[in-house]
Amino acid sequence: MLQSNASSPGATRHAVILAAGESRRTRPLTLRRPKPLIPLAGQPLLAHILDELVGLITQVTLVVGYRAEDIQRHFGDSYRGIDLCYVHQQQISGTASALLSVADQVHEPFLMLYGDNLISRADLLNVCQQRYCMAALPVAAPQSFGILQIADDHVVGIIEKPAQAAPGSLANPGIFHFDQQVFSLLRHIRPSPRGEYELTDVIGLLAQSTPVGYSRCTGHWIPVGTPWEALIAALFLLQYHVTEVPVSPTAAQLGPDTLINQAVQVGQAQIGANCRIIGPTMIDDGVVIGNNCVIEHSMLAAGVTIGDNCVIRHSALHTGVLIGADCTVASSVLDDGACIGAQTHLPARQFPDIVPTAHTMGRLEPALLYTRGAVLGPGVLLPAGTTLEPGTIVCPAT
């Protein structure tokens, strides 16, 4: 039987982040990197999660697996004053077993998060106010989520993707507050029908012996489970963070008659004549943009080169991408080293049958959540004159 004493609200200083999976659904963005290192608006996905913890948490335990050495090499032993330690999940068999792998390292109340969701600092604070608590996200399409079962204003279980749940039902966004006594319950979880040990099953066991509270989300929540969701996350972060225009003659070389509108961050880049750069946009060091180009609400990573007369809208161009002259790129992701020849077009269109999962708190136009262009994997080459059908994903040749 679990003890009933509650931890002091706001006293939690430890977080556990599950980041071990290979994430096949995010391919080709995870062919050569783990999901936590997918670049989003100038930083990897995991960095944006950790940013929300700065000042609240002093230690984070990361459960790692796929390409774990890449994560450790990038982040090291600390991040912005947070101590980082790594636990390797030897067998990837579900979220419950992932959390159980840290049982010997965690001896205090802790936040538990998934390493593939952008979350809000406000929701982290709210969940910490009860000993056992989880965030609750109202959703329009509950059939796509794990839905909370509520009784007497407490959570008594989670039903995965129920067919009959009403719009506005409360979903599980993956923000939990536990303490070390939850580990004894994890050892009693049985495999789900898909053969995995599911963390959501522990909520039902926990509720049998102690109250499990919930806190309605008041901030953003953006999952990164597909390349398209990674693009939505990048566009959201541009809107969320890029609020200034720090362009100076010493930082960027601007050609004549080039106009910068709204919030744009530009590093040591070279931008040609008669261009329009429309924010929120982020242009990193080493970017070269030709003449007569339009760049709107996009992320251009280091070393991107864009030819003359190009239009780039609502897109993320990763390191070293090369765009030939007279190209259009809309609502697309081009991974490291992708190259498209002149007069190539990656148009976008809306897909009304897509059910958006991201909650951007009104920071993105709703249509962007179901608009798709193309995704090009690392090193993909498209010959001049290519036009791709919207929604196309191109992986590199093996």
Digit-by-digit pLDDT tens for the chain (398 residues) are 333 334 444 589 999 999 998 888 999 999 999 999 999 999 999 999 999 999 999 999 999 999 999 999 999 999 999 999 999 987 766 788 888 889 888 999 999 999 999 999 999 999 999 999 999 999 988 888 999 999 999 999 999 888 888 888 999 999 999 998 899 888 887 776 666 777 888 898 899 989 999 999 999 999 999 999 999 999 999 998 876 555 554 578 999 999 998 889 999 999 999 999 999 999 999 999 999 999 999 999 999 999 999 999 999 999 999 999 999 999 999 999 999 999 999 999 999 999 888 999 989 999 999 999 999 999 999 999 999 999 999 999 87
Q: Identify the pLDDT of residue 360.
A: 93
Under CATH, to which class is 14-225 assigned? alpha beta
Alpha carbon distance 282, 245 (integer Å) = 10
Neighbours of 126 (CB within 10 A): 22
Q: Identify the pLDDT of residue 249.
A: 46
C-alpha gyration radius of the chain:
22
Cα-flanking dihedrals φ and ψ of residue 217, to 5°? -65, 135
The answer to whether 14-225 and 236-394 have equal CATH topology is: no
Q: How far is residue 191 from each of residues 43, 76, 107, 181, measured CA to CA in Å?
A: 36, 34, 26, 21
Q: Identify the pLDDT of residue 9.
A: 45
Q: Where are the domains of the chain?
A: 14-225, 236-394
What does the block give as tokens for 124? 């982290």
Q: Identify the pLDDT of residue 92.
A: 67
In CATH, what number does 236-394 get?
2.160.10.10
Q: Identify the pLDDT of residue 195.
A: 63
Q: What is the biggest distance separating any 2 CA atoms in the chain, rounded to whole angstroms?
A: 73
Strands 213-216 and 133-138: parallel
Cα-flanking dihedrals φ and ψ of residue 299, to 5°? -120, 120
Helix-, strand-, coil-residue percentages of the chain, each rounded to 5:
20, 30, 50
Q: What is the dihedral of CA 217, 242, 366, 331, to 10 degrees?
A: -130
Which residue is it, tokens 């002259």?
Answer: 325
Alpha carbon distance 369, 357 (integer Å) = 8
Q: What is the pTM of this model?
A: 0.93
| Sheet containing 381-382: order of strands | 253-254, 270-271, 288-289, 305-306, 322-323, 339-340, 381-382
Q: Identify the pLDDT of residue 197.
A: 75
